[in-house]
Structure 1
Amino acid sequence: MHISTYFACILLGITLCYGVPVKKSNGCGYDACNLGDPMKLNVHMVPHTHDDVGWLKTVDQYFYGARNYIQHAGVQYILDSAIRALDQNPDRRFIYVEIGFFWRWWSQQTDDMRNKVKQFVNDGRLEFISGGWCMNDEASTHYNSIIDQHSLGAEFLRDNFGDCGRPKIGWQIDPFGHSREQASLLAQMGFDGLFFGRSDYEDYATRNRTRTMEMVWKASANLNKDGWLFTGVLPNGYGPPDSFCYDAFCDDAPIMDDPRLHDYNVPERVRTFIRAAQNEAVGFATNHIIMTMGSDFQYENANEWFKNMDKLIKYVNAEQVNGSNVNVFYSTPSCYLYALNKAGHNWTSKSDDFFPYAHHPHGFWTGYFTSRAAFKGYERHSNNILQVTRQLNAFANLNLRNSIFYLSEAMGVAQHHDAVSGTEKQEVAFDYAQRLSDGINVASGIINQAYSKLLPLNSQSPPTSPQFLCQLTNISECVPIQDQQRFTVTIWNPTVHSVLHHFRVPVTRAYTVRDSTGQPILAELFPVSNSTKKIPGRVGTATSQLIFRANLPALGFSTYFFEARTLVKREKPKVKITPNDECILQNQNIRVEIDAQGNLQHIINLKQSIAVAFSNQGFYWYQSFPGNNSQSQFQASGAYIFRPLSPTAQPVSQARSITCTKGDNVQTAVIVFNDWTSQEISLYDEGEFVEVEWTVGPIPIDDNMGKEIIIRYDTDINSQSKYYTDANGREVLERTRDYRPTWNYTVVETVSGNYYPINSRIWIKDQNRQLTVLTDRSEGGGSISDGSMEIMVHRRTLNDDSLGVGEPLNETAYGQGLVVRGRHILSLQTPETSAVHHRVAAQHLYMHPLTSFSLIPQDYYNYSAAYRQTWSALTDTLPLNVHLLTLDQLGPKDFLVRVEHYFELYEDDTYSKPVTFDLQSIFKAIGTISNTVELTLGANLELADLKRLDWVTNGESSSTKKTSKERPLDDTNITLNPMQIRTFSVALA
């Protein structure tokens, strides 16, 4: 069943199976555009609404118009009203963006209404722009989830509106800074352009002065022209020019056009509009400008907008006989872009990004890079479960895509720029988390069904015991297995490479652990730290963690059998615990030196004979600026804004305690700074990384100070003001302290002005050493002094920053401040060898092995006789630089697959080269490929049918060589270039 059916069926009980087929038309897209008058200033008036998929109210409350005392907004009424207004005048145009809302509305419509809407789309009068499930954040999102949420919306539009419903323009008008990777992904989806509404106040002024508000964004350092995207900064944010708002929320004067009445105002309104158009045109390079006529949740009474715009068009254009050069008409972003494309201009280009964003000298929107750190971690965890569920659904041939939709839809909503960003009200944050939790509950049932097919050795095997997820093992809690005599741990590896991974299982007693061959393996009992035991809300009674090393096959599982040890020999404990003494952690590759006061002193790479010395490592805090926001200098730190009262961070404690624990599997140093900050530094057997698990909270506020908590790594690396951060988990950009590549930057905020999104990694380096910190979620940070990296991990503010959310970022749980726990992975390598380590480690952090548990009634002998204990979908070894990004079963024999090369050009002598592999190797376990069709990244168009607009920048054309449409059916060999993602529809025989 296609998603066009289950989009409505799943949640709303309305089937689209019997809808009227989509009508083919040549009247949509660029064919429907008015290109204006080449001799005049053409004003493209774009009626639009910006509908946040949750912010001050939940997504469903916004849709229905509930709780309007919080914010008056009802999306269902907006769409009702806009469609009626389009029906009254064929010249009118309207665009819509957030498919998460449109899907809700569409599923409630009659066939007659759907037919009417389809006709508007076919005629180019209603146009879908961007077309994602939401307008996603760009700072704290991962590329995997950006692709997924766009694909979710694109598939709905394709299945219901055909070619005319395919978006071609990105419309990121409200996010708070813009990622280069976002633009690159949109280009790979086949988009022709991107428009956004927010740019740094200095950047905007410079561009407006130099008439470079529009440019060709060279958004990938690896994909060449395939990553180029025409990009424009909108002139008024995303609102109308001053005094020309005609919504019920606005106070601007309507067009009063009866000259017999006293308030007749047509001449004044026309003069003011013409002046506004001419003033706007000063910053733009052609005789085309765009006016965004709308704003947040507007057009609930669309007649009010359109009636006045009809008059405005009529009377402004009438002035052309009197010498006016202003020509105004209804348009869309696509038509505006097309007019710019036909203008024959040689455009400027840009190759960096639009971070960080500031709206005035003290207003850097860098706090939200970390805001709601727990939800940011939960969102990343949920994506891990989503991808694993899709894989298991495919390999078990369950064909339960309808059920997976619950989690897919929740993840689509979570990517919104007021969701994972952490800039929503607390009640809305709870709703986002609840949606993910509900989706995971459904997904866990699918995981259980998949294992019920994959585990049995034969048809005579008894039914499997239910598999379940324990999602609180990070705080040593899994209540269902507490005190159990036997249980299994089945671990799915979602990557296409085998991995060695150490797992921690919370227990109250000793167990014998058998691997997938039945052999007892080393499993060591480590005490649960006091910092963990006192986490509010922890109900588990486990006092120990059983730590063992799992050897996991590629794209498959291994099961480990736990059986309680009834007779424990009185042996000398192998695990050695030493409090308040120096702690040397060392394995075959790494040595970590920590002194008796808990200060990290050195990390040494033994294989490469390089070391980094630390002058400081640990927790610090900035006091949040407590301003009243009346002027720039009084800007407060809040959910959006990070503004420290002082540029000097204070240590959370002058003293710290250390407990050193050493076993054969792992060696750890638990360092407690105070009663609300601690970290556990771990080094695993044969590991090449140092793990830092941090715990922060409850952040105290009894001193009436908001606090921004960072972990700082101060080293002897001579970084020369340079540091490097990733974009959405993919390409890495060089940053220079107190510098912007495209304008003369005025240094005002020395800390927050140097913060960037860290979605997966940050590093500093010198000639011989590179220290990389990998994160398990999106965080903000930077290098405020040479040799130093700081990463903000948690925030608790006491002031609102007056940017809309209306409440301070003061998260609580169980009657006190929220406790957050996360991980940093430290890698010390030479610059030449670092890429292979941080690329692979980052993939394993976000595509983490997923553990499920099962209570087992029988002993190991009977269990092993009935059930498969290890299995892999792969029989071939795939190259290390290949990653399986998406495997989604569309039907019994149909699949969507995305594969990627996840190394950049020139990163590694071996793995930064093109790679070829057989796509059939991924499908050998389920069938033989009979046909493949390559699609755009959004999976809504055959790649061979893609025709993007050509742009000229610096005299160079953006056009690329067209892909051949014909592909031999038996040719399943795929070549990937660095950073390339390829998407295929695969049919099995």
Structure 2
Amino acid sequence: MHRLALSAKRKVLLNPKTVSIYFFAILFTFLLAYHQRLGQHNNELHISRVVNMRSFVKEANNLSNSQKNPNIFEPKNEVCQRPLTESSTNFNTFDLFESVVAKGNTLPPASKKSRTEKLKVYVLPFTHVDPGWLETFERYTKSTNQILDNMHQFMMKNEKMRFMWAEFVFFERWWSLQNEQVKEDVKKLVTEGRLELATGSWVMTDEANPYFPVSVDNIVEGFQFIHKNFGIKPQTMWSNDPFGYSNSVPYLFKKSGVHRTVINRIHHKLKQTLQSQKAIPFKWRQYFDATGEDDVLTQILPYTHYDILNSCGSDASVCCEFDFKRMTHWSCPGPKPEKITNANVAAKAEKLVNQLEKMSEMYKAPVILMMHGDDFRFDMIEEWNQQHDNFIPVFDEINKGSRVEIRFGTFTDYFNDLEKWYSNNKDSEPPTVSGDFFPYMCALGDYWTGYYTTRPFFKRQGRLLHSLIRNGDIMLSMLRVNLKQRKIGENVKRLEAARRNLALFQHHDAITGTSKVSVMDNYSELLHASIVSTNIVLENLTKSDIDLYPRIHDGIELQTIVDLESSEKEIRIFNSHLFEITDVFKIRVKEREVIVSIDGKIIEAQLEPFFQKSKVEKDSFLLLFQATVLPLSMMKVKVQRGDSGGLTKMAKIEAKDTNAWDLGSSWTIASSTSAPNLETPYFKVSNDPITGAIQSVNKLSDNSKFHCQQSFYNYKEAGGGAYLMRLHTNPKEIIEYQWLKVSGPLRQSIYQKSTNVLQRLSIHNVEGPSGEEVDISMSIDITKERNTELMTRFSTKWDKPLTYTDSVGMQLLRRDFYKLPVQSNYYPMPTAAVLQSGKQRLSIVSNVEHGARFLESGTVEINIDRILNQDDGKGLGTGPDAIPIDMKPVDMKFKLIFDSLESDPTENSRYSTHSFRAQQAVQTIIYPPMMFNRPPKKEEDIEEIEEISNLKFPCDIQLLTVRPLEDNKQLLILYRHATVCSSQKVGNCGGELKSSLMDLLIKLGAKQVQKTDLSGVTRVGGIIKVEYLPDYELKTFDFLTLILYR
């Protein structure tokens, strides 16, 4: 009977007349509803609808383009990235390095063609100013102020002169001291194209060590300053001094509207090879960009350095004759420069033309850029007159002839003419190049790979400050709707000052650790002052005390004892991420009898010994408990003295040698000779019975087993310095360890102790990502060593696996082992090193920058710390202030993530991406949940961050920041990672962007939004009300940047 009824119903529904009736009824209902809504909101929504329609058309076009590029897509409810494909380019640096450097091959040179066109040459005067190196930033400011004063004075009187500036941390200082007339004059110079504001970031960043959200902040800070004061933004990125180049950094600038770049320090043999192929300039293409839409036109300076001796051609002695400051200062390798007169101008012009023509043989296009400057040049008004007054007659003489046309010019002049020539010569398109330019080897054969690791204490300071600023920005954005304007202003000023100090530290002689001892100490003081200032913001916003922070500028983070004697405490845990976190959290207490509760319910807790500065603090315990913190929420946990009814448990302690550990009277250590293995219902770690070192891992969820054996090595008698790694002996394995096993219901740990290292390796008894990763904390102290490089190795026993390190956290780049010296095989590891064999992958992520190399045996070697007792000849000089022996004890963390992927990688792929779990591990190790403590809430407390959150962003979306802009506006930046497919489900995030984005905007108190480029300067479309938010397209490897209006 039931089936007959359904069958009859089906006949009615499928009848053509019935279908037509239903169709027109639905259509009429829709049109009526739309008409009513249109009549009600026609005026206020007209602009919004036009914007939405334009956005719809544009995004439809973008979607069409993205379908041509298999790596760029918007995954609606997909859980991971489809198999990666790679862009096709004329050259990629991975293959070039293997062929030219590792195998010693020489590519046949490109054919020479006789040039018939007149050569165009643009001479660009500049000064290279380091915001800290041999002197502190403040001391250098005196010189840069003088240079800029001279620039204004001279260029207002000499219309043919051109100049370029790229360090805006200095420019802002000078600008703030100028009167309105000077400012108007300089604006005129910029508007007329005589003064070029290049790069635009706050500083010229290092490109090996930063994490990309800091690089984005560096760009935003500088671009906002330039746009506010000049109404423009830079068109060219000038990066002459970093020691190697990331392919991700120019991509960030391209997303900010910069499509040209000039670089310099690449591997000497790669530079020679590209020149022999006439492959400079080139279009720098991302591995994932199959269409070339994000290409950056790239010029590389032609010779070994950026100074004047390497500017005009291959003969440095001839070029030196055109450094007219040397008429009165310094000398030359050949004839000294002479004042240009009628008697010598013809001969001098001929000399310069000959050099320029030789240099032009490296290029296809008859357009040449000749940089003319050096470190802190043009600080004397005398030099401005010397360079200008002597070049002008030389230019005039050359321009009389038919061979060369030459004048002072800017990057814009050069690139405009270059692009025009390529446009008119379609058969001579610039070649395409993919990949990065690490490692850097200079013309002397030295590998600049030590600075990836040099002075890790300072690197850790920078990462800590970045995490705090980001927390401060996000919290202030969430709470500002209830704050008084005065309080908002005070907090914004503190965060701006801290952000600028952090941006200063991204400078290529700061985060690298390659400045003098006194300068590094000054950077440390600035970072610590900003940490303290940002902590004040955070404590004011939460009305709580911060749990973990450094007390002094050269000290590690110390954990506060939570005082339970006077009253119970409320522990607050802030999750700054777009995904929920379930993990084990810890505080320091004095009491053994402790109750931990959430929402009035007592929960399980664990007490264990508290280690700090590599030793046990006998006056306190480490209290651990499990909690789940929702996205962008503040979890509250109550802790008080009292009987927990057995739910707070003391950990069990075992050791191979009980006499090696002094834990105090609170703990009993059991002697054990068996292997100190660790196990939870989700994870099992097997350890060596002698050293306690990890040997293998078994993931019980899918019964997959990974060999992962850790060891430590010292390279003694190291001969490098702050910049260089020079290793002359084989490494010596550290085998003298004592181990201590600490077991409890929430966490199991193995401590290893040697002369310079105290390491804790733990697994957590929680379900989800945190329960299937190995957590490592290292306390390092090599201050008493001499010429030592300390390494840790993780060996997988995989036969020639695919190996990668990350490029500023945005993508993974292939790194192979070559039979070259150790230092030649080292690469930057700003956040991660990855090994993969078949479908198994080991990802090692860290909260501190390192250098890393891979061995043939499936082993990664990570440089942990280094102390060098000599200068390496790269500019720091000699004496106690120049030698990098100012090492400080440093704490650092690692996580090991073991993935079983759904498909094998492509063996010839030169890049890859993280799994969801590894990507989230990078974010949580750099931005861990932040903990506060305070007495229980009082009724008069202001509105606070909620415990609940309905945000369900896709797993591949990262919240970079919600930072303040002027006029009570904010800048929200999201990034969509590409991720490889793993068999493990993440389960702590959602699959749809629009609704969660709308919920986030409401949570942040935004009433209207406007889309911009990455810098926040160029607006895209109009201002849109949040309730009519369009379905923004956010492709992988791309950013969504919105200005928020309240």
2:920 maps to a residue whose letter is: V
Relative distance call for 1:61 and 1:866 in structure 2 (3 A) is closer
Q: Is the 8 A contact 1:914 1:978 kept in 2?
A: no
C-alpha displacement at 1:47, in angstroms?
0.8
Matched, 1:978 2:1036: yes
Q: Deviation digits for residues 306-335 of structure 1, max 9, x if unmatched?
A: 5434432422442454x5512211111122
Q: Is the 8 A contact 2:807 2:813 kept in 1?
A: yes
Q: Is the 8 A contact 1:719 1:786 kept in 2?
A: yes
Relative distance call for 1:602 and 1:239 in structure 2 (3 A) is same
Residues of 1 paired with 2:618 and 2:740: CA distance?
21
Q: Which residue of 2 aligns with 1:641?
A: 724
Q: Which residue of 2 aligns with 1:141?
A: 210
Residues of 1 paired with 2:199 and 2:780: CA distance?
38
C-alpha displacement at 1:595, in angstroms?
2.5
Q: Which residue of 2 aligns with 1:5?
A: none
Greater Cα offset, 903-912 or 772-781: 903-912
What is the RMSD of the two structures over their aligned residues, measured on CA atoms?
Answer: 3.0
Corresponding pairs, count: 862
Tell me which structure has the larger Cα radius of gyration: 2
Q: Which residue of 2 aligns with 1:706?
A: 787
Q: Which residue of 2 aligns with 1:634?
A: none
Q: Is the 8 A contact 2:829 2:849 kept in 1?
A: yes
Q: Which residue of 2 aligns with 1:733?
A: 813
Matched, 1:871 2:946: yes
Residues of 2 paired with 1:146 and 1:571: CA distance?
46
Q: Show the 5 A alignment for 1:273-288.
A: 273-288=352-367
C-alpha displacement at 1:866, in angstroms?
7.0
- Structure 2 counterpart of 1:593, from 686, 697, 710: 686
Q: Which residue of 1 aligns with 2:266?
A: 199
C-alpha displacement at 1:340, in angstroms?
1.2
Q: Deviation digits for residues 541-584 of structure 1, max 9, x if unmatched?
A: 6542112223212101112232234x698999641111013111
Q: Which residue of 2 aligns with 1:880?
A: 955
Residues of 2 paired with 1:288 and 1:913: CA distance?
52
Relative distance call for 1:767 and 1:570 in structure 2 (3 A) is closer
* Corresponding residue SS for 2:1043: strand
Residues of 2 paired with 1:384 and 1:207: CA distance?
40
C-alpha displacement at 1:926, in angstroms?
4.4
Residues of 2 paired with 1:805 and 1:395: CA distance?
45
C-alpha displacement at 1:667, in angstroms?
0.2
Q: Which residue of 1 aligns with 2:66?
A: none
C-alpha displacement at 1:189, in angstroms?
0.9
Q: Which residue of 1 aligns with 2:772?
A: 688
Q: Deviation digits for residues 898-924 of structure 1, max 9, x if unmatched?
A: 111122477899999996323321122
2:150 maps to a residue whose letter is: S
Q: Which residue of 1 aligns with 2:834?
A: 763
Relative distance call for 1:800 and 1:193 in structure 2 (3 A) is same
C-alpha displacement at 1:384, in angstroms?
0.6
Relative distance call for 1:192 and 1:578 in structure 2 (3 A) is same
Q: Show the 5 A alignment for 1:472-621.
A: 472=550, 477-479=558-560, 481=562, 484-486=565-567, 487-510=569-592, 512-529=594-611, 532-533=614-615, 542-565=619-642, 574-580=650-656, 581=673, 582-597=675-690, 598-614=692-708, 616-621=709-714
Residues of 1 paired with 2:198 and 2:647: CA distance?
68
Q: Show the 5 A alignment for 1:842-857.
A: 842-854=922-934, 856=935
- Structure 1 counterpart of 2:240, from 153, 164, 173: 173
1:290 maps to a residue whose letter is: L
Q: Is the 8 A contact 1:605 1:611 kept in 2?
A: yes
2:794 maps to a residue whose letter is: Y
Greater Cα offset, 478-487 or 388-397: 478-487
Matched, 1:942 2:1019: yes
Instruction: Give the TM-score normalised by structure 1.
Output: 0.82
Q: Is the 8 A contact 1:755 1:782 kept in 2?
A: yes
Q: Is the 8 A contact 1:207 1:283 kept in 2?
A: no
* Corresponding residue SS for 2:451: helix
Residues of 1 paired with 2:370 and 2:470: CA distance?
41
1:821 maps to a residue whose letter is: D
* Corresponding residue SS for 1:497: coil
Q: Which residue of 1 aligns with 2:178?
A: 109
Q: Is the 8 A contact 2:204 2:508 kept in 1?
A: yes
Residues of 2 paired with 1:864 and 1:753: CA distance?
63
Relative distance call for 1:76 and 1:843 in structure 2 (3 A) is same
C-alpha displacement at 1:885, in angstroms?
1.3
Q: Is the 8 A contact 1:901 1:976 kept in 2?
A: yes
Q: Is the 8 A contact 1:172 1:194 kept in 2?
A: yes
Q: Which residue of 2 aligns with 1:85?
A: 154
- Structure 2 counterpart of 1:53, from 115, 131, 140: 131
Q: Is the 8 A contact 2:556 2:890 kept in 1?
A: no
Residues of 2 paired with 1:205 and 1:296: CA distance?
25
- Structure 2 counterpart of 1:294, from 373, 388, 396: 373
Q: Is the 8 A contact 2:478 2:1005 kept in 1?
A: no
- Structure 2 counterpart of 1:697, from 748, 768, 781: 781
Relative distance call for 1:438 and 1:512 in structure 2 (3 A) is same
Greater Cα offset, 874-883 or 378-387: 874-883
Relative distance call for 1:881 and 1:223 in structure 2 (3 A) is farther
Q: Which residue of 2 aligns with 1:830?
A: 900
Q: Is the 8 A contact 1:527 1:544 kept in 2?
A: yes
Residues of 2 paired with 1:917 and 1:310: CA distance?
61
Relative distance call for 1:530 and 1:136 in structure 2 (3 A) is closer
Greater Cα offset, 591-600 or 800-809: 800-809
Unmatched 5+ stretches in structure 2? 1-114, 423-427, 657-672, 904-913
Relative distance call for 1:476 and 1:579 in structure 2 (3 A) is farther
Greater Cα offset, 867-876 or 103-112: 867-876
Q: Deviation digits for residues 498-542 of structure 1, max 9, x if unmatched?
A: 1113222223323534444132222211113486228xxxxx765
* Corresponding residue SS for 1:410: helix
Residues of 2 paired with 1:542 and 1:232: CA distance?
61
- Between Structure 1 and Structure 2, the one with more helix by share is 2
* Corresponding residue SS for 1:563: strand
Q: Is the 8 A contact 2:267 2:441 kept in 1?
A: yes
* Corresponding residue SS for 1:829: strand
Relative distance call for 1:359 and 1:181 in structure 2 (3 A) is same
* Corresponding residue SS for 1:364: coil
Matched, 1:383 2:466: yes
Q: Which residue of 2 aligns with 1:462?
A: none
Residues of 2 paired with 1:939 and 1:624: CA distance?
50
Residues of 1 paired with 2:835 and 2:686: CA distance?
20
* Corresponding residue SS for 1:424: coil
Residues of 2 paired with 1:95 and 1:787: CA distance?
48
Q: Is the 8 A contact 1:377 1:777 kept in 2?
A: yes
* Corresponding residue SS for 1:444: helix
Unmatched 5+ stretches in structure 1? 1-36, 65-73, 453-465, 535-539, 627-636, 739-746, 945-963
Q: Show the 5 A alignment for 1:773-812.
A: 773-806=844-877
C-alpha displacement at 1:197, in angstroms?
1.6
Residues of 2 paired with 1:802 and 1:356: CA distance?
18
Residues of 2 paired with 1:293 and 1:909: CA distance?
56
Q: Deviation digits for residues 422-475 of structure 1, max 9, x if unmatched?
A: 1111211121122122222222222233224xxxxxxxxxxxxx5345315997
Residues of 2 paired with 1:208 and 1:972: CA distance?
48
Q: Is the 8 A contact 1:523 1:548 kept in 2?
A: yes
Greater Cα offset, 356-365 or 83-92: 356-365
Q: Is the 8 A contact 1:220 1:351 kept in 2?
A: yes
C-alpha displacement at 1:373, in angstroms?
0.6
1:613 maps to a residue whose letter is: H
Relative distance call for 1:131 and 1:542 in structure 2 (3 A) is farther
Q: Deviation digits for residues 223-280 of structure 1, max 9, x if unmatched?
A: 8534321111112432223313234664354442345xxxx64344323211221121
Relative distance call for 1:364 and 1:476 in structure 2 (3 A) is closer
